[in-house]
Amino acid sequence: MKTDGQIVAETMAGQPDLFAQLVVRYQPSLTHVAKLRLGRSDWAEEVVQETFYWAYKCLARYDSRYSFRTWLWTILLNQCKRFHSKQRRVPRVTAWTDHGNELSRDDDRHSPDPTPAMQLLMKERDELLYHQLAQLAEDEADAIRLRFFGGLKFQEIADAMGCSLSCAKTRVKRGLVRLSQQLTHPATGTRSEPTGNSQDGGTPDAL
């Protein structure tokens, strides 16, 4: 199996079709995290498409000092923020129940014929997870999504979020503590204001 670096190099050398291998490799995990970030399957799919579009378009500007994997995750986080900001400017009426089953689709594929009870449990679990993460500070929630649903190591989280290794570890730790507090005392959970993050040195400013 070719490494990300090999695929990127060969894509830039005149074999653009190879980029599809990167899409296949990363689309499931990117989509899963985007769903937990945005709360809807259709929005997540749109953001992931934009992520791959910008990654391909700006491939010549990719800095090989950083891993392609973390570069791609940085683009996803930026696209999620941009999409969320855009949605907040558009008046809409949306009930969670209209899309409450969206987040459970990833788990459905692991069971070809889930029972109604299984479907209900998955739906309730994902709704709870989405809402609990939404109560955290944005950087803490993103760090947890990347760590436990994107499968990134702490250094990769640091690179993707443009922060130090110790900061990445702190964000995950604080997020987990606050999640625990929310589950223990749900009535006291309030969302902190998002904090700005510096960009990864290898990520195009436009992303």
pLDDT at 96 (0 to 100): 35
Segment 157-180 mean pLDDT: 95
Confidence of residue 124 (pLDDT cuts 50, 70, 90): low
Confidence of residue 122 (pLDDT cuts 50, 70, 90): low
| pLDDT-derived band at 97, boundaries 50, 70, 90 | very low
Residue 5 identity (one-letter amino acid): G
Retrieve residue 171's tokens.
Answer: 């964000």
CA distances from 177 to 128, 155, 164, 183, 189 (A): 16, 20, 20, 10, 12
Topology (CATH level 3) of domain 1-89 = Rna Polymerase Sigma Factor; Chain: A (1.10.1740)
Range of lowest pLDDT (35-39, 49-53, 74-78, 97-101): 97-101
35 neighbors 44 (Cβ within 8 angstroms)? yes
Asked if residues 103 and 41 have their Cβ atoms less than 8 Å apart, the reply is yes
Give pLDDT, residue 50. 97
- Residue 185 binned pLDDT confidence (cut-offs 50, 70, 90): confident
pLDDT > 50? residue 197: no
What is the model's pTM? Answer: 0.73
pLDDT attached to residue 200: 42
Count of beta carbons in the 10 Å neighbourhood of residue 193 = 6
Among candidates 13, 19, 4, 28, which has minimal Cα distance to 54?
19
Query: Is the pLDDT at 12 greater than 70, yes or no?
Result: yes
Question: What's the pLDDT at 65?
Answer: 79
Least confident segment among 27-31, 83-87, 139-143, 172-176: 83-87
What are the structural domain ranges in the chain?
A: 1-89
Instruction: Report the amino acid identity of residue 182.
Output: Q
